[in-house]
């Protein structure tokens, strides 16, 4: 009886609502052996859909077992996307930043806190230091 009682969390302000850990414990009447984070489910479903689209187009992928193609690879990729950080960011946000730079911000420079179009694509560096004779 004591095992079925859930842990109660007292929240004193609305800002702490977002810090409560969200987990899925059951789906319909099926009790899961391990609680699952909703973000894990979302990432797994999205990577599963992407892998199905990619593997549907590529020839010769049907020789790979279905368990590896539909379960293991999407699970590993979703686990990577949730746990690893690239340059301190989530890999998806990092990739979006690279695409945004290549599409829109490439060829622009910052001058006195104003973005202006670059006249050339070369980078010029001026060190403004004297050439000492060393010695």
∠ CA 49-34-20 to the nearest 5 degrees?
Answer: 90
**Residue whose structure tokens are 């004591």:** 2
Query: Domain map of the chain by residue range?
Result: 37-111
pLDDT of residue 88: 84
In tens digits, the chain (135 residues) has pLDDT values of 455 667 777 777 777 777 778 888 888 889 988 888 888 899 999 999 998 998 888 888 888 888 988 899 999 999 888 888 888 888 888 888 888 888 877 766 666 666 666 666 565 566 666 655 555
The pTM score is: 0.58
**pLDDT for residue 110:** 63
User: ∠ at Cα 113 (111, 118), nearest 5°?
Assistant: 35
Q: How far is CA 61 from CA 56, 57, 76, in A?
A: 8, 9, 18
pLDDT at 49: 94
d(CA 94, CA 88): 9
How many Å apart are CA 43 and CA 36, to the nearest integer? 12
Q: What is the predicted pLDDT for the residue at 1? A: 47
**pLDDT value at residue 44:** 92
- Helix segments in the chain, DSSP class H: 38-57, 66-67, 73-83, 91-100
Residue 121 is given by DSSP the state: S
């Amino acid at each position: 009886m004591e095992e079925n009682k859930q842990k109660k969390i007292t929240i004193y302000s609305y800002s702490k609502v977002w810090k409560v850990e969200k987990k899925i414990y059951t789906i319909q009447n099926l009790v899961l052996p391990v609680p699952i984070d909703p973000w894990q489910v979302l990432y797994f479903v999205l990577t599963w859909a992407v892998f199905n689209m990619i593997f549907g187009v590529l020839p010769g992928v049907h020789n790979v077992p279905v368990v590896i193609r539909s379960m293991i690879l999407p699970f590993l990729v979703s686990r990577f996307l949730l746990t690893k950080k690239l340059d301190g960011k989530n890999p998806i946000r990092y990739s979006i930043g690279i695409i945004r730079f290549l599409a829109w911000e490439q060829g622009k420079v910052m001058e006195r806190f104003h973005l202006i179009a670059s006249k050339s694509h070369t980078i010029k560096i001026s060190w403004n230091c004297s050439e000492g004779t060393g010695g």
